[in-house]
Structure 1
Amino acid sequence: MKKWTFAAVLMCLVLALAACGSNKDEKSGEKKGETIKVENNFGVSNKDGSSTETVKNTVEVPKDAKKVVAFDMGFLDTLDALGLSDRVVGIPQNAVPAYLKKYTSSEYKNLGGLKEPDFEAVAALNPDVIFISGRQASLFKEFNEIAPTVFVGVDSTDYMKSFKANTELAGKIFNKEDEVKTQLAAIDTKIADLNKKATASKEKALIVLGSQGSLGAFGAGSRFGLIHDVFGFAQSDKKIEVVPHGQTVTSEYVYEQNPDILFVVDRDSAIGEKTSVKKDLENELIKKTNAYKNGKIVYLDAATWYLAGGGIESVSKMVDDAAKGLK
């Protein structure tokens, strides 16, 4: 039998231990990267706006996540503004604002609809994180089983606080804190300037959503309420009910309110359907209002307001849009 020297035995042990260490690393998948704990706390609502349940939990999101799925167009807007388009791997491509159309190319996976996600397609991407908002709130559990899921919907009762929180979260996850501070400061400056002018004008405004011949009115605290709450425009009617699609109103109502400024969101246009909102709205009654007589019916950029609110680019666009009411 061949004799083994002590040195040879020792060398074999060293090599064996090294091999075990290597296998252990491969088996355990190496050291985990840094994560950020994010608390979700949001309500799931019925069509009438009433709450059915509250989702409250904590998820761990990989720091500087490389593969992102975005179901909220506002958060996609923010990722785009921060130069993070290369992190996005998929979105629902059926309703995307024109300024974000590059995300409808084959470079990004189509993940179904805003309210009807293709979960198989989402899972196949093996994303690091998924961002959702109100339209997907009831599907949180299904998303979170695929990857850490973060709710980034904007709270209309405190729009700027929630918008800033979401934007700062993006900065924290993707190491863009300084850029986020700069972007938010610029938006604050624009809003302060608009608010000063709107408050000084004392003109009363009304916001309506038009869709397939119907009208919904929105006031403070609603999905478009930042026109009043943040931008400083006075309301023509302070008793508007806060519901998801607006308080149902008629041309007679608008005529009676006689707003100095009428802000209009064309839902049909926003979702790519044939629209007659402008034709239906500007009837003989509406033509008798101050808004029409003074050329102050302002058709807001529908896709931005209806689909992509709460993003760095969209909020800046919304300020510019609303400012048209003072010209």
Structure 2
Amino acid sequence: MLKPLAIASLLTVTAQAWADTDAQRIAALDYSALDTLTALGQGERIAGVPQSSLPEYLSAYATQKYADVGSLKSPEYEVLDQLAPDSIIISGRLSGEKQKLEEIAPTWLNGGVEADDYWSRLEANTHALATEYGADEQAGPALDSLHADIDDAVARVEGTPEVLVVLHNDGKLVYREDAIVNDLMGLASPNLPEDADTQARGERSFTLLTPAQISAMAPDLVWVIDRSAAIGQPELDLEALQTELGDLSVVKGSPKLWYLASGGLESTLLQVNEVVSALQ
């Protein structure tokens, strides 16, 4: 199996790329785009990132070399003004700020990934970023390599385990049909209990689960995405949950990786490998 993309080694852009005097300085306010551009050899174009919530695997950007441009939901406009990047990249979290950011620099809205068609959306996002930032030649091979690595990783999963994905948010456990686990990896989720509490919030709905309900569902693995921990709030007491769930296998993914960075070339393989490791 090919080794995961190495962030440290990819931070050096080729001499040919830097011979292009039009190379853009980028403020990346979306970690999946930052991830993908780094994997495509464009890391040296990055001028600013939100540093306070950087996932560990992107820690190479947690230095004074890169301006701290706010958070994934709240840009530091004064810093961005002073930085004067050639372009800004955001995710849907900042779509409402796009017009204001456009006053500083052309702003690229990076596409998201959904639970029903992860790979196609990842491909589309990767090719779009590659075209926008001059890395077309790198995109195809990077995607091919990633696909092969994912296939190798999933092949190590024995049998047909059922994996229940829950999102922890402020003490609540919310059922999640997950793009990585259920769509990309093709792992089944157990059926929801008839007494599950599904609530509506605007056009969206969510289903709360209790530890007793999770026990009754009897999945082979309970995979926890800790939103609270990812955004600096009190994290889930995993030991207490494990006690309530008895012999069920309960594993928490790396919070910032799963909640803040999903949809990048590097993050995708890291997420797949975390789940595969939990199932072995």
Q: TM-score, normalised by structure 2?
A: 0.81
1:186 to 128, 134, 145: 145
- Whose relative contact order is higher, 1 or 2, with alpha carbons under 8 Å and at least 6 apart? 2
Residues 158, 123 of structure 1: CA spacing in aligned structure 2 closer, same or farther, 3 A cutoff?
farther
Q: 1-side partners of 2:174 and 2:270: how far apart? A: 22
Q: Name the structure 1 match of 2:243.
A: 283
Cα displacement (A) at 1:207: 0.2
Once the two structures are superposed, the pairs formed by residues 148-187 of structure 1 within 5 Å of their partners are: 148-156=106-114, 157-187=116-146
Q: Does 1:261 align with 2:214?
A: no
* 1:275 partner letter: E
Once the two structures are superposed, the pairs formed by residues 1-327 of structure 1 within 5 Å of their partners are: 65-156=23-114, 157-195=116-154, 201-219=159-177, 224-237=178-191, 247-284=207-244, 286-288=245-247, 292=248, 296-327=249-280
Q: 1-side partners of 2:173 and 2:236: how far apart? A: 12
Residues 280, 251 of structure 1: CA spacing in aligned structure 2 closer, same or farther, 3 A cutoff?
same
* 1:180 partner letter: A
Contact 1:81 1:313 in 2 (8 A): yes
Residues 246, 306 of structure 1: CA spacing in aligned structure 2 closer, same or farther, 3 A cutoff?
farther
Q: 2-side partners of 1:245 and 1:63: how far apart? A: 49
Residues 143, 238 of structure 1: CA spacing in aligned structure 2 closer, same or farther, 3 A cutoff?
farther
Cα displacement (A) at 1:71: 0.7
Residues 85, 197 of structure 1: CA spacing in aligned structure 2 closer, same or farther, 3 A cutoff?
closer
Over residues 164-223 of structure 1, what are the superposed CA-to-partner deviations in whole Å (9 max), with x where a residue is unaligned? 11211232233322322111111111333445565x72221100122442211101xxxx
* 2:272 partner letter: V
Residues 107, 134 of structure 1: CA spacing in aligned structure 2 closer, same or farther, 3 A cutoff?
same
Q: Name the structure 2 match of 1:57.
A: none
Residues 193, 164 of structure 1: CA spacing in aligned structure 2 closer, same or farther, 3 A cutoff?
same
Cα displacement (A) at 1:253: 1.8
Cα displacement (A) at 1:83: 2.7
SS at match of 1:146: coil
Cα displacement (A) at 1:119: 1.5
Which structure would you say has the larger Rg? 1
Contact 1:64 1:173 in 2 (8 A): no
Q: 2-side partners of 1:321 and 1:267: how far apart? A: 17
Contact 2:117 2:179 in 1 (8 A): no
Cα displacement (A) at 1:256: 1.6
Cα displacement (A) at 1:238: 6.2
Cα displacement (A) at 1:135: 1.3
Q: 1-side partners of 2:22 and 2:125: how far apart? A: 15
SS at match of 2:243: coil
Tell me, which stretches of 5 or more residues in structure 1 are unaligned?
A: 1-61
Residues 173, 250 of structure 1: CA spacing in aligned structure 2 closer, same or farther, 3 A cutoff?
same
- More moved, 78-87 vs 271-280: 271-280
* 1:307 partner letter: L
Identity value in percent: 30
Q: Name the structure 1 match of 2:5.
A: none
Cα displacement (A) at 1:245: 9.4
Cα displacement (A) at 1:272: 4.1
Over residues 130-165 of structure 1, what are the superposed CA-to-partner deviations in whole Å (9 max), with x where a residue is unaligned? 111121122111112221111113231422222111
Q: 2-side partners of 1:195 and 1:232: how far apart? A: 9
Residues 114, 307 of structure 1: CA spacing in aligned structure 2 closer, same or farther, 3 A cutoff?
same
Residues 261, 168 of structure 1: CA spacing in aligned structure 2 closer, same or farther, 3 A cutoff?
same
SS at match of 2:54: coil
Cα RMSD over matched residues? 2.7
SS at match of 1:263: strand
